[in-house]
Amino acid sequence: MLDPDSGLSLTIARIVQRLQGSSLHSQLERQARVSLHKPEIKLESLKEDIKDFLKTSGWEKKLQNAVYSELNVFPSPCHPAAPPEHMKEPLAYMRKAQGSWEKRILKSLNSMCTELSIPLAQKRPASEQKELLNKWNEMGTDEPDLSLFRPVYAPKDFLEVLMNLRNPNYENGEQPSFRNHLGLIQVPLKVKDIPELKEDFSELGLNTGQLGIDDSAQVPPEFFENEHVRVGQKVLAEQDSAAAQQYVRQGCPTALRADLWALILNISNQPEDILYYEQLKSNVIQYDLLVDSLIYKDVKLTASNDDYYFVFEDYLYQVLLCFSRDTSVLDHFTYSSATPPKSYIRGKLGIEEYAVFYPPNGVIPFHGFSMYVAPLCFLYHEPSKLYQIFREMYVRFFFRLHSISSHPSGIVSLCLLFETLLQTHLPQLFYHLREIGAQPLRISFKWMVRAFSGYLATDQLLLLWDRILGYNSLEVLAVLQR
């Protein structure tokens, strides 16, 4: 067991290491040098004067937000003696199941590649590059022949894998008994009960005002809505990520949501961020990947057929094609149970020095993947900012919805939490559905995997995602679908 002092030291060291290579670090250094020429900076109190300058000029707040963001994203440090894979996933049988699932996905991708005689990646001819560049903002008008392509997997395939998941150290007979769970998920993970959920999600209680309920036509705005908007404007003026995260637990006013989410996720869309996005775009223009066709296919099958999202088809292509090339996404595999798939340069199969991650971001899109981006298009209309918000949402939350792990926000725990709550508090409904062959999880699984995108009206979905950001947890998905 790691004692609190050691854990804190390790956390501080990790955050310092990560921030040292960031643009914020170089900006802080630059501002500190600039401050040396100011008359109020005295040599005898140099350190304190520079600190005061950074505080009054707003840079201290930016540093606090960056630290808070790191604390939200990265898990608590493991014991120094623990092997690296324990940070990814502490349970060996979960790691093994995830490894087997990844092999199955890769096999599906490789067989499609062989059947269609299409390379995993190739450079586009100059004429094709020029054509793609010209129609970058209207890719939705393109109608490539995608009839031979199929999604690598769909949520129902993933559910079958989760249903067969077992802990080899846990004896669990096939016959129903008081010891085993009557749902589809048969792994003994600790999930929260109602008292624990009430404590953790106290702001969702009936005695607390909620945007989406207490701002309805029947409730005069002066009772809740006006004050909530005023507080939201004050939070934005303060530019405090922690305060913004606390605030959105009661929902975001529509006019403030985009700025509040960006503040929580620590996205500021600096010139260097825009340049990075343009570099990713350039990579898309130059190289054609097999996964590009999977992205096109998914958008056509899902968002393009959705009454809310079909108008954002061009944005979806731009964001997802750039996302597939973004190697910074690989960082999230340090705390994800998944491992990025590898491919080898032609003729060098099995030689590690010729191995590359494929796709470059390590994420193979599946059926419905584009629906993680679609709701964000209502909030952000500048492509580079939309891209950054989606990438941050993915590496904080969405990756957990399609990987096998024991994390409380992982899809296995969410399924178990949903089934346990339903079985405990609505036993007659649960048993009835089970008896007629309509297991509740089979109905709700696709809702959870997509974080309800495409299943809730957009205004309701964004209110739900407010709470995900506010609590930095996906558990609310299992609680609110009960």
Per-residue pLDDT of 82-111, as tens digits, reads: 777 778 888 999 999 999 999 999 999 988
pLDDT in tens, 130-173: 999 999 888 877 777 788 888 899 999 999 999 999 988 876 55
* DSSP codes joined into one string, 402-456: GS----TTSHHHHHHHHHHHHHHHSHHHHHHHHHTT--HHHHHHHHHHTTTTTTS
Residue with more model confidence, 463 or 24: 463
Q: Phi and psi for 357 in degrees, rounded to 5?
A: -75, 135
Q: Residue 342 in 3-state DSSP?
A: strand
Measured distance CA(133)–CA(143) in Å, rounded: 16
pLDDT in tens, 408-437: 999 999 999 999 999 888 889 888 988 888
Measured distance CA(66)–CA(69) in Å, rounded: 5
pLDDT at site 6? 66
Average pLDDT over residues 32-56: 75
Q: Which of 416, 480, 425, 470 is nearest to 447 (CA)?
A: 480
* For residue 46, pLDDT beyond 50: yes
Structural contact between residues 407 and 413, judged by C-beta atoms closer than 8 angstroms:
yes
pLDDT in tens, 278-325: 999 999 999 999 999 999 999 999 988 888 898 899 999 999 999 999
pLDDT in tens, 194-225: 999 989 988 888 778 787 776 565 667 667 78
* For residue 226, pLDDT beyond 50: yes
* For residue 350, pLDDT beyond 70: no
Measured distance CA(332)–CA(317) in Å, rounded: 22
pTM score above 0.85: yes
Query: What does DSSP assign to residue 343?
Result: E
